[in-house]
Amino acid sequence: MNLRPARSAVPVPPETPDTPAPHEPRLMRALRELLHSRRTAALGTLDAGSGLPFVSMTPFAIDPALPGLVLHVSGLAAHTRNVQASPSVSLLIAAAEAPGQPVHALPRVSLEGQARLPAPGSPEERRARAAYLARFPEAETMTALPDFRFVTVRLARARHVAGFGAARTVEAGDLAHLLATPA
């Protein structure tokens, strides 16, 4: 009697950070695609003066080593002062609207995290700059302006809405995996 397991006729490639696991759930694949395909987010901060919510639009890059997001902000912007006063932030990333499609089922994710302004010239700032320029090479001249700074956002959790009736919470570990592996 042969007790050895049968060998598959189809070779299975090993999983690498660049290759999602073939058994990854559909909602995780959808969230990965959303995070990697969109380039702007609504950034929610607390107004440094009033303590009221303040929302602005910002481009973002992904830093898989953080794991988290990288923003490039002006020192003159209200959201920069707000982050310096209170590092808790929220970002909303949404799929693009499609003509004739209902907006109530628009895939989206609300991310919660802690923002940090890395010291100029630090290894963290150099890594943030590299991640940002990998996504936005056209912004290189802007990164040399003395008024602009990088902000890194370490994500704690997310609320993902994949469509109507498909909402769930995603914890930091799963977010880290999604950010480390491209769509």
52-63 pLDDT, tens digit per residue, is 999 999 999 999
Give me the residues paired with residue 58 across strands.
41
Could you tell me if residue 4 is inside a domain? no
Considering only CA atoms, which of 153, 154, 156 is closest in space to residue 71?
153
Could you tell me if residue 16 is inside a domain? no
Could you tell me if residue 144 is inside a domain? yes
Total number of domains in the chain: 1
In DSSP notation, 87-153 reads -EEEEEEEPPP-TTS-GGG--EEEEEEEEE-PPTTSHHHHHHHHHHHHH-GGGHHHHTSTTEEEEEE
Could you tell me if residue 119 is inside a domain? yes
In the three-class reduction of DSSP (H, G, I as helix; E, B as strand; rest coil), residue 86 is classed as coil
Residue 80 sits in which domain range? 26-94+102-180
Could you tell me if residue 8 is inside a domain? no
Could you tell me if residue 70 is inside a domain? yes
Higher pLDDT, 129 or 164: 129
Could you tell me if residue 37 is inside a domain? yes
CATH of the domain at 158: 2.30.110.10
* Residue 14: pLDDT over 50: no
Could you tell me if residue 13 is inside a domain? no
DSSP state of 164: T
Q: Name residues whose C-beta falls within 8 Å of residue 3's C-beta, 6 or more positions apart in sequence.
A: none
How far apart CA 54 and CA 147 sit, in angstroms, is 21
Instruction: Determine what percent of the chain is predicted with pLDDT higher than 90.
Output: 68
Taking residue 27's Cβ as centre, other Cβ atoms within 10 Å add up to: 16
Taking residue 94's Cβ as centre, other Cβ atoms within 10 Å add up to: 17
- Residues 92/160, Cβ–Cβ less than 8 Å: no
156-169 pLDDT, tens digit per residue, is 999 999 988 889 99
pLDDT computed for residue 9 by the predictor: 38
